[in-house]
Structure formats: C-alpha cells, structure tokens
C-alpha cells in the first residue's frame, strides 16, 4: 500500500504545527512535515520566510496560547479547590473539637450515673432476696420491689443505649480531629498553595504576611511540644491557630 502524498498546503500545516509544538526547531519540523532530512535546515529557513507558512504558524500560536490559558485556568481552579478542601478539613476539626468536649463530658457523667444505678440495683436485689415471700407482707413488699427493679432495669438499659450513642459520637469526632503536628502540616500546605496562587495573581506582597503567620504557628507548635515534654503525657487535641487570620480569605 503506497503512502498518500501530501499536498504542499498539508505540508505547510504539518510544519507549522510541529514547529510550534517542538520548541521552534525548524529542522525537526521540516522532517516531521515530510521534507528531505538532508536539506531540512535549508527547507526550514525557506519555509519560515513563506507568507502562507507564517500565517499557519500564527494560527498555531494562537491555538497554543488558548490551550495554555485553558490549562492555566484548570491549574488555578484545582489549586483553589485544594485550598477549599483543606479549609473544609479545618472546619471539621474545629466542629469535632467542640463536639468532643461536650460529648466526652456527657459520656463521663453518664458512666457515673450507670455505676450508681447498678449499685442501687444490687442493693434492691439483695433486699428482695432477703424478704420472706411466704407471708402476705413479704409478698406485698416483694411485689413492690419487683416493680421498682423492673423500672430500674429499664432505666439502666436506656442509659447504656445512650452511652453507646455518646461513645459512637466521640469516636466519630475523634476521626475528624487534627493533632498539633497534623495541624502544622496541613496549614503549611495551605500556605504554600496560597503563595503559589498569589504569585500567579501577582500578589507578591503577601509573602511577608505569610512568613509572619508561619512563625506564629512554629511558636505555638513548640509551646505544645514543651507542654508534652513537661507533663510527660499526651495532650488533648487543640485548635492551634483559631485567633490567627487566614491568608487569602478576603481573596476567595
């Protein structure tokens, strides 16, 4: 099967496309367009002075520029999307931290109530067993205690169900918590992405504000590390930079 011979105009189009996409190498573009490799340099020189070829190169350049703009827009959008994802993670952390402080306290109080209730049940059970149910008074008293125990058993079951729900809520909150090292890493990543966005948009002056913010972060991280060393025990998750303004919030 013979290869289809290209028309001159088709060769011009192939040369223009190859020239723009290969880094403006005329010789390689000429070879790609099907011109003889031996004289590709000379051919390229002639083609680059040809008005029709120059028109096609100009059209290719415009298309390339459009593609680059589209790619830049996609990159810009993706970077902002990453920032929003990080911010959503930080919001979940703050919400989980607040939720945990409440549910953890409720769970602790509930456990204490259950312990007291179990103690009361054991006392009534002991009293119930000690009563002679063969007498009429004994039967009446046992009947009364039986009803009280049934009510207490139901209360205990409900309390244990509530405690299970609280424990589940605590576990869910803990999954969204960021410990101070994770917090530092995710905020550093956010700052780096924002700096990239600001550089692209021409906001070079934001660098000083970002550097100051990162120094504040470093100081707070070091403070937490010192507390861990002093107390020789793990600390509770902490919202570290709740009072530090987020860079770029006014630009979103």
Task: Render 7-63 in DSSP notation, one character per residue.
Answer: PHHHHHHHHHHHHHHTTS-HHHHHHHTT--STTHHHHHHHHTT-HHHHHHHHHHHHH
Q: What is the pLDDT of residue 244?
A: 38
Measured in whole angstroms, how far is the alpha carbon of residue 244 from the centre of its chain? 20
Q: In terms of pLDDT, which residue wins out, 62 or 234?
A: 62
**What share of the chain in percent tops pLDDT 90?**
23
- Across 9-18, 131-140, 162-171, 206-215, least confident range: 206-215
What is the CATH T-level fold of the domain 8-68, as seen in this structure? Answer: Arc Repressor Mutant, subunit A (1.10.10)
Q: What is the pLDDT of residue 30?
A: 92
- Across 18-32, 103-117, 189-203, least confident range: 189-203
Mean pLDDT of 41-53: 91
**What share of the chain in percent tops pLDDT 70?**
74
Q: Flag whether pLDDT at 32 surpasses 50.
A: yes
Mean pLDDT of 140-163: 90
Residue 82 to residues 116, 126, 186, Cα–Cα distance (Å) = 50, 63, 11
Q: Where are the domains of the chain?
A: 8-68, 178-252
Distance CA(97)–CA(93), nearest Å, equals: 6
Place of tokens 């100009």: 58
CB 40 within 8 A of CB 31: yes
Mean pLDDT of 142-154: 89
Q: Flag whether pLDDT at 13 surpasses 70.
A: yes
Distance CA(24)–CA(63), nearest Å, equals: 15
Distance CA(99)–CA(113), nearest Å, equals: 21
Place of tokens 């289809």: 4
Q: Would the pTM count as exceeding 0.85?
A: no
Helix (H) or strand (E) holding 3: none
The pLDDT confidence band at residue 216, using thresholds 50, 70 and 90, is low
């Amino acid at each position: 099967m013979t290869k289809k011979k290209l028309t001159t105009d088709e060769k011009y189009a192939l040369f223009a496309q190859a020239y723009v996409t290969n880094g403006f190498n005329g010789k390689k573009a000429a070879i790609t367009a099907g011109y003889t490799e031996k004289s590709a340099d000379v051919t390229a020189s002639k083609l680059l002075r040809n008005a029709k070829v120059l028109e096609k190169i100009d059209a290719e350049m415009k298309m390339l520029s459009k593609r680059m703009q589209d790619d830049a827009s996609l990159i810009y959008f993706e970077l902002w999307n990453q920032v929003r994802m990080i911010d959503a993670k930080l919001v979940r952390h703050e919400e989980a931290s607040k939720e945990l402080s409440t549910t953890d306290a409720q769970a602790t109080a509930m456990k204490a109530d259950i312990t007291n209730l179990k103690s009361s049940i054991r006392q009534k059970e002991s009293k119930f067993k000690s009563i002679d149910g063969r007498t009429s008074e004994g039967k009446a008293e046992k009947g009364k205690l039986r009803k009280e125990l049934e009510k207490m058993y139901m209360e205990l079951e409900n309390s244990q169900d509530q405690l299970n729900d609280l424990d589940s809520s605590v576990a869910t909150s803990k999954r969204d918590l960021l410990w101070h090292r994770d917090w530092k890493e995710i905020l550093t990543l956010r700052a780096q992405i924002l700096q990239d966005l600001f550089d692209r948009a021409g906001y070079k002056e934001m660098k000083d504000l970002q550097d100051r913010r990162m120094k504040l972060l470093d100081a707070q991280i070091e403070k937490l590390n010192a507390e861990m060393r002093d107390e020789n025990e793990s600390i509770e998750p902490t919202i570290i930079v709740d009072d530090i303004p987020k860079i770029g919030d006014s630009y979103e």
